[in-house]
Structure 1
């Protein structure tokens, strides 16, 4: 099999200079790359079930209601299984159990299982015989291991630093200095402090190559300010639309036609644990409003001398006329 002969490095240089965020060029037109919650629209197929299973990651990243529901379901299922096993072995081997009715026998077996699993052991019911004692011992071992894992997961969830940054519902194109700018706003929703906060915004659009095929292009947008040392209040992130901006001369209809998406990556240091935290989000062209400007979130200083920051105004905007070389007054 003959290999292609090297001719020139034009295409090689194009590929090396092309900005790539990791999504590739061949992406569906209507597909959103990053959801508002920061998750990616990628579905992996073709791998084995064992490769896809990551129980620790799922239990650490799931919501608190889901985590507690999993713990309760695990507790109930294990006790029901062992209660059934005790009934199969024979309730006469559980000294002190109520044998009056089948329901009472099962209930006593269930609560004995719960006491054995948690190693509480009130003492009213005790196993007799080798088989029953062996099963009860195995359940107590399972309980020690299970609750040790649950405790570790609980600690991991509490100790895991998270950047709980809120994004405005929309991005806006509004007057900025003597031009226009693309803007969106963020705020730290918690009382913990994030320092050395940096932001990166990339624009993804569909472009036609020299062969007429649609591929995605990526451009990093220059920001008015890409880093702040402290983040106690809100931060309006601005991309000035100069003649060097890929947005220069583009209307909202053109952004929609090109399926434009603004990909945001925020990185900072959470000072409580002194660890780096990240936050991701995006704005699709449908979520960019022209001729709106964010209202101030700051209120009057209260009686204790604190500046009031109203988080309910994070996405609140007012209409504003656009007047610049890009959008001249009529």
Structure 2
């Protein structure tokens, strides 16, 4: 697709502006809105035709030549290119399949687990900690109420068996009940509550007439303490979970791919909004994608570890301010053979995990996030957000720029093709030329190679050759340090061999000494 000043020309030779593309995409979405698979394929085709084909045909993507998409937030000067986020405007959220959501929750549900309820009850403490707060508070309240009711029934049965509710015994002044001032079940419930929590208002109290009542009094006191410890422990564990601390750890909305030290790198940013630091911080990343083994086995969700580092170190982070994590796209990287267009077409998910220890509590913490191909910006770089504030003599972190990026020149080809291209233009070529060639042939060969440095080398070697010829010494220049030979080398060698065979045998050694091997 070729993008002009007034419109866009698609692959069929038709011109349309941006509004036409949006209307066409909208009609396709309305037509296939009841089928998720059709939506994905149709929208992908439209984006491929209407957006992804405007890649710069050259090797580099200059600033300002970005994918067609939705303009994101970016605070910079007027000359800074606008950040663009592809695919968000047209692809519905329900079509995006991801393992880990942006907030760190895992998109996973389990079914047909053998004896699932029994296994949960065997680990009742963890089960009660993991359930939602409304169920947790319900269990907390019901635990106490049920215990009061159970012991109220026990007390009522003891008093009923002893005859405390008999009117004749109540009129006898010498008769002593098990519990005084308890004549109804409601009074028994209140006595159970007062006993378990040691309230003791004074009107209702136990006597020494019933040994079984003394035993129940001791038992209820112990059970009440156990219930309190258990319920308070559950609530405390739920409140102090490090999961809530992970909500204050930030991951950048996008990952970017750009050049860093002449190498293609995948970058994403992590930050911590609290003043208390995460100590012993480690970062890791994995890519999940489909793989077919050599035996033909299809692994739909194959995990591959990505080598990530912080600056020039390893995966350990000095987490005092937002850090940019770098994955170098080299031969060991799964992204090594993917170009800018291939990444937009491929299906994978990069899951990043940050682990550390909370400084204030000493608990371990883990925060997660993920990036889909549509969330990777090719040819972008993160904007700096840390600066020194002179008036307060402290470093200031502007989190409004945490997700901001700007465009930079970046190769659109894959890392493999880019590194091969670099080798071709950096490594010297070997060119063996015969001394009998004319100067025009030398210049033509060097011009064919297109290397100015080679021309300078040839001029220097020619001066040395003239000095040696003036001194009566044979000229010999040889440098075979590079394995890449010029295409002209084989033809020149054959020409030299033919010239050597036509001369007499007694002059063969002299002619071979006069041949010059020129390295370019």
Shared fold per TM-score greater than 0.5: yes
Counterpart secondary structure, 1:125: coil
Match among 249, 273, 281 for residue 197 of structure 1: 281
Contact 1:187 1:233 (8 Å CA) reproduced: yes
For residue 76 of structure 1, the aligned residue among 145, 159, 163 is 145
Distance 1:222 1:72, change over 3 A: same
Shift, 1:205, TM fit: 1.2
**Match 2:411 to one of 311, 319, 324:** 324
> Where does the alignment leave 5 or more consecutive residues of structure 1 unmatched?
1-29, 100-104
Q: 1:283 aligns with which of 370, 379, 384?
A: 370
How far 1:262 moved relative to its partner? 1.8
Q: Post-superposition shift, 1:192?
A: 3.0
| Deviation of 1:143 (Å) | 0.5
- The Cα of 1:250 is off from its aligned counterpart by 2.9
- TM (norm. structure 1) is 0.66
**Structure holding more strand per residue:** 1
**Deviation at residue 293 of structure 1 after TM alignment:** 4.9
Query: Does the CA contact (< 8 Å) of 1:185 and 1:234 recur in 2?
Result: yes
Q: Tell me the distance in 2 between the aligned counterparts of 1:174 and 1:300.
A: 27
Question: How many residue pairs align between the two structures?
Answer: 291
Q: Distance in 1 between matches of 2:316 and 2:295?
A: 43
Any idea what the Cα deviations from partners look like across 1:5-56, whole Å, max 9, x if unmatched? xxxxxxxxxxxxxxxxxxxxxxxxx985555536584737225654443123
CA drift of 1:239 comes to: 1.6
Question: In the alignment, which of 236, 244, 247 is matched to residue 335 of structure 2?
Answer: 247
User: Structure 1 161/168 Cα, relative in aligned 2: closer, same or farther at 3 Å?
Assistant: closer
Asked whether the equivalents of residues 339 and 414 of structure 2 are also in contact (C-alpha less than 8 Å), the reply is no
2:256–2:381 CA contact under 8 A, matched in 1: yes
Query: 1:14-33 residue pairs with structure 2 within 5 A?
Result: 33=99
Judging by fraction of residues, say which structure has more helix: 2
Whether 2:269 is the aligned partner of 1:171: answer no
Aligned to 1:3: none
Counterpart of 1:126 (choices 198, 202, 205) is 205
Unpaired stretches in structure 2, ≥5 consecutive residues? 1-95, 166-177, 416-520
User: Which protein has greater RCO, CA pairs closer than 8 Å, 6+ apart?
Assistant: 1
Question: Does structure 1 conserve the Cα–Cα contact (< 8 Å) formed by 2:277 and 2:320?
Answer: yes
Of residues 272, 293, 296, the one that matches 1:209 is: 293
Does structure 1 retain, via aligned residues, the 8 Å contact 2:279–2:356?
yes
Q: TM-score, normalised by structure 2?
A: 0.45
Is the counterpart of residue 43 in structure 1 residue 103 in structure 2? no
Q: Given the superposition, is the C-alpha separation of residues 257 and 174 from structure 1 closer, same or farther in structure 2, using an over 3 Å criterion? A: closer
- Which residue of structure 1 aligns with residue 125 of structure 2? 56
Give me the whole-angstrom Cα distance separating, in 1, the residues matched to 2:188 and 2:401. Answer: 56
SS of residue matched to 1:268: strand
